[in-house]
């Protein structure tokens, strides 16, 4: 794949990011936390791909792997056709500029001793995209306006801003180096609802104006539904279902997606439904169940699910699920799980 | 909004300030709130609106730097701000219990779940004697009805009935009953294998199990009022659904009122009977849940409802409320929402609007509706 005319800006192929757990007196590796455990996906130019899933399923690790803050043990990571896992140092630097990340907690990603102007101009100098201080300052003033603040704010420090304003600054900082691709890890999770909408609108507008591509990570399914053209659902380190947001939400085909969606309360008292479809907790990412990793909590699981690894199957146009069964068929033949599955 | 007798809790004009280096935080600016018997009242608002401060005031757990400047907190007829200390403590112990967002801060890491529950009961043995005896008697009475009572149990039943009248119980006997009662409560919050759970330490439990443990610790007291402050906020949606389902089941079994505090309007829609909306230290709107979602009156409530993304439909442009929550050291004058309000007019910055009944049972604190 040359990637020259490809609609894929980023492609992950069979990526594994495992963290070793050391122990014993010799400090040998005793096991691995399989945070990302064989992910294949692509992000298409100009789209917003959402990633949802429960806490600990590997969303942040996936994001960190993409921007090369976490080192995968295996896999290929193609940016515009180039496998950036093979690049180091100077050859990686231009790619680092093209991909920027915005974190959940803008307080953690902004240096408290650095004022906004230097937070914005520092990355410009690092990546040499401005020729001098004047140009950098001019660009900083422009950026701060783009994100809805004003140039007065440039000489202030992070603690002088509200959460929403800090997230605007974090976005401005990410934009400072003219990226093509933004990885947004829970960009509004620390914000109030009334402010969340401001940031989501800002991100949408910026995407339109600057032609950006987003990988948008969130545990909030409602936010993902509003923001993303396609959505991937992660469970224990794998993307178990991925497809166009509309059809995935309207007709989920993986039992986990179905359960996750029906756990979300609706802001509408005339539609009370809470089914609590899933019992128990997510298993540990150290000892992942054999076969289908969701089978221990799946209402439709059969003996075969413990033995066979479910391959990704196209279940609807452009929608793929890692499940052995057709969900409608599974529903019809559903056998009750024993009550002891609680735990 | 009187009807005090049918209210388990009434908060009137509660004002609380915090003394800090930066100045006085005027956290509660005259909060009016009542929880009716048997209802689930949702208290909803964004962070910093004063939900937790309200809860802590009711529970008597405000930190040292807080000052109650004025108002009343009436729990089952007793004013918690004026009554004698001893009386208040007993009233709180008997009538209410609280569950918080982060169970780990409130669970003792070096004690098993079981010993923590026993500690609650044993510290106030006198208060809880009737509770543990009644719990055992319920079991025995049930067995008696079903005709499965052994001879030994028949004797136990008679002696417990006598004890209940005298209100005294030996230490060992208390402990035996308390333990059985605690295990039963762990089962009631649907923790698997309650006997085993009884012996486990908090770090051995998942987030959802810890929260169930906290709920169990609240329920052992058989409270008439359960205050739950953001108890599902730190949990995944799937676990949140489990806990909300549990609360709904429990509500019917335990015959308690619940004050459910959350920033999430979807959670409110899912399990509350009535809702109070809080903004910057004021209750700005109160209504029955269906009514509030159908006819939100306060511009803040309207803005909030328009700003929540829905999982079941796509909205083009998301509506947001301009600006952000004010700093309560320098709160805006008059109606505290006026700087962000799209409908503000001359009157709004001048004085605080009163809470008026704009529709039947639907109260709002906004000059658009009179006052
Ligand atoms: N540096 C690390 N060393 C060891 N384990 C790690 C490391 N980073 C993450 N993990 C583990 O990998 C798994 C996935 O973590 P990750 O942070 O990617 O989850 P997440 O989906 O982003 O969760 P959340 O929704 O809570 O943010 C977890 O079990 C986590 O504890
Ligand atoms: N211990 C404290 N010291 C000073 N200010 C406090 C303290 N606790 C709460 N506040 C302030 O009181 C207001 C209400 O806070 P809180 O009740 O915690 O809000 P929430 O609605 O998020 O629960 C906020 O302005 C907060 O900063
Ligand atoms: Mg994360
Ligand atoms: Mg709070």
* Confidence check: pLDDT of B1 > 50: no
pLDDT at B3 (0 to 100): 46
For all residues of chain B together, what is the average pLDDT? 90
Report the mean per-residue pLDDT for chain A. Answer: 90
Residue B283 has pLDDT above 90, yes or no: yes
Contact indicator for A264, B312 with CB cutoff of 8 Å: no
Comparison of pLDDT for B315 and B195, the residue scoring more: B195
Alpha helices (H) in B169-328, listed in sequence order:
171-188, 194-198, 207-219, 237-254, 265-271, 289-294, 299-307
Q: What's the pLDDT at A335? A: 55
Report whether pLDDT(B9) > 60: yes
B2: pLDDT strictly greater than 60: no
Report the distance separating Cα B371 and Cα B364, nearest Å: 10
Q: How confident is the model at residue B269 (pLDDT cuts 50, 70, 90)?
A: very high
Question: B237-240: long-range contacts (C-beta < 8 A, 24 or more apart)?
Answer: B237/A54, B237/A219, B237/A221, B237/A260, B237/A263, B237/A264, B238/A54, B238/A259, B238/A260, B238/A263, B238/A276, B238/A277, B238/A278, B239/A281, B239/B206, B239/B207, B239/B208, B239/B211, B240/A263, B240/A265, B240/B267
Residue B235 has pLDDT above 90, yes or no: no
At A1 the pLDDT is 42
Identify which of A23-32, A196-205, B134-143, B337-346 has the greatest average pLDDT. Answer: B337-346
Compute the average pLDDT of residues B285-297: 98
pLDDT of residue A331: 78
> Which residues make up the environment of ion ligand 3, defined by Cβ < 5 Å?
A 60
B-chain CB neighbours of A54 within 8 Å are: 236-238
- Residue length of chain A: 343
Low-confidence ranges of chain A (pLDDT < 70): 1-6, 274-275, 334-343
* Smallest-distance ligand from the CA of B66: 2
Query: Alpha-carbon distance A12 to A99, whole Å?
Result: 14
Give the pLDDT of residue A334: 66
What was the ipTM of the complex prediction?
0.86
Query: Which residue do the tokens 């949702």 mark?
Result: B42
Token readout for B118 is 């026993």
State which of B11, B52, B67 you would mutate to test the pocket of ligand 2, scoring each by most atoms of that ligand within 8 A of its C-beta: B52
Using only C-alpha atoms, chain A has a radius of gyration, in whole angstroms, of 22
Say what the pLDDT of residue A6 is: 64
**Cα B241-B245-B251 angle, rounded to 5 deg:** 145
Q: Mean per-residue pLDDT for B27-49?
A: 94
> For B193, left (φ over 0), alpha (ψ -120 to 50), or beta?
left
Question: What does the angle CA B305 – CA B307 – CA B308 come to, to the nearest 5 degrees?
Answer: 75
pTM value is: 0.89
- Taking Cα atoms as reference points, which of A236, A266, A263 lies closest to residue B243? A263
Shortest distance between the Cα of A337 and any Cα of chain B, in A, equals 16
Q: Report how far residue A200's alpha carbon sits from residue B324's, in angstroms, rounded to the nearest whole number.
A: 15
Only one residue has tokens 């609802």, namely: A193
- The partner residues of A298 in beta bridges, in order of sequence, read none
Considering only the beta carbons, identify the residue of B245, B266, B318 that sits closest to A267: B266
């Amino acid at each position: 794949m040359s990637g020259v005319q490809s609609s894929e800006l980023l492609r992950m192929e069979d990526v594994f990011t495992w963290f070793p757990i050391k122990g014993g007196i010799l400090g040998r590796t005793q096991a691995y936390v399989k945070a990302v455990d064989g992910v294949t996906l692509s992000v298409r130019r100009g789209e917003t791909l959402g990633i949802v899933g429960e806490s600990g399923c590997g969303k942040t690790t996936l994001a960190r792997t993409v921007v090369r803050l976490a080192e995968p043990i295996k896999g290929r990571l193609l940016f515009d056709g180039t496998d950036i896992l093979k690049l180091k140092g100077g050859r990686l630097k231009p790619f680092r500029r093209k991909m920027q990340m915005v974190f959940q907690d803008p307080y953690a990603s902004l240096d408290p001793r650095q004022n906004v102007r230097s937070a914005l101009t520092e990355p410009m100098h690092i990546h040499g995209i401005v020729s001098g201080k004047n140009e950098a300052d001019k660009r900083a003033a422009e950026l701060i306006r783009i994100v809805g603040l004003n140039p007065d704010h440039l000489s202030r420090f992070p603690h002088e801003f509200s959460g929403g304003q800090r997230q605007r600054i974090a976005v401005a900082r990410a934009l400072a180096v003219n990226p093509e691709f933004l990885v947004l890890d829970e960009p509004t999770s620390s914000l109030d609802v009334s402010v969340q909408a401001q940031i989501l609108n800002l991100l949408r507008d910026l995407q339109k104006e600057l032609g950006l591509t987003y990988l948008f990570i969130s545990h909030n399914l409602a936010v993902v539904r509003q923001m993303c053209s396609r959505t991937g659902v992660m469970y224990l380190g794998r993307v178990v279902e991925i497809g166009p947001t509309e059809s995935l939400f309207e007709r989920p085909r993986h039992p986990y997606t179905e359960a996750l969606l029906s756990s979300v309360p609706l802001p509408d008292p005339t539609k009370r439904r809470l089914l609590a479809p899933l019992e128990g907790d997510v298993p540990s990412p150290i000892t992942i169940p054999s076969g289908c990793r969701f089978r221990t909590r799946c209402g439709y699981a059969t003996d075969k699910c413990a033995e066979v690894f479910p391959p990704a199957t196209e279940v609807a146009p452009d929608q793929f699920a890692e499940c052995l069964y057709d969900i409608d068929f599974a529903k019809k033949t559903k056998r009750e799980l024993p009550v002891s599955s609680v735990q | 909004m009187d009807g005090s007798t049918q209210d388990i809790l009434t908060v009137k004009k509660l004002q609380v300030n915090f003394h800090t280096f930066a100045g006085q935080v005027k956290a509660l600016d005259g909060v009016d709130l009542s929880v009716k018997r048997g209802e689930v009242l949702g208290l909803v608002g964004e962070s910093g609106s004063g939900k937790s401060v309200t809860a802590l005031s009711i529970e008597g757990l405000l930190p040292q730097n807080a000052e109650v400047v004025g108002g009343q907190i009436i729990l089952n007829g007793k004013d918690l701000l004026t009554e004698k200390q001893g009386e208040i403590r007993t009233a709180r112990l008997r009538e209410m219990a609280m569950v918080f967002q982060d169970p780990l801060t409130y669970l003792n890491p070096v004690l098993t779940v079981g010993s923590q529950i026993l500690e609650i009961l044993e510290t106030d043995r006198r208060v809880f004697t009737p509770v543990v005896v009644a719990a055992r008697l319920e079991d025995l009475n049930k067995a008696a009805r079903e005709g499965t009572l052994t001879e030994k149990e028949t004797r136990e039943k008679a002696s417990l009935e006598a004890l209940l009248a005298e209100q005294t119980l030996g230490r060992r006997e208390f402990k035996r009953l308390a333990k059985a009662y605690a295990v039963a409560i762990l089962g009631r919050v649907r923790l698997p294998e309650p006997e085993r759970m009884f012996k486990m330490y908090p770090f051995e439990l998942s987030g959802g199990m810890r929260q169930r443990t906290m709920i169990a610790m609240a329920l052992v007291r058989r409270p008439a009022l359960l205050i739950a402050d953001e108890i599902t906020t730190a949990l995944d949606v799937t676990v949140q659904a489990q806990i909300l389902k549990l609360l709904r089941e429990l509500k019917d079994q335990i015959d308690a009122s619940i004050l459910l505090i959350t920033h999430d309007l979807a959670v409110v829609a899912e399990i509350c009977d009535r809702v109070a909306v809080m903004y910057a230290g004021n209750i700005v709107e109160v209504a029955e849940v269906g009514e509030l979602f159908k006819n939100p009156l306060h511009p803040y409530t309207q803005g909030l409802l328009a700003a929540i993304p829905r999982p079941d439909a796509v909205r083009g442009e998301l509506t947001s409320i301009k600006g952000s929550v004010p700093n309560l050291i320098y709160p805006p004058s008059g109606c505290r929402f006026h700087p962000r309000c799209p409908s503000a007019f001359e009157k709004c910055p001048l004085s605080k609007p009163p809470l008026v009944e704009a529709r039947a049972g639907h109260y709002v604190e906004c000059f658009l509706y009179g006052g």
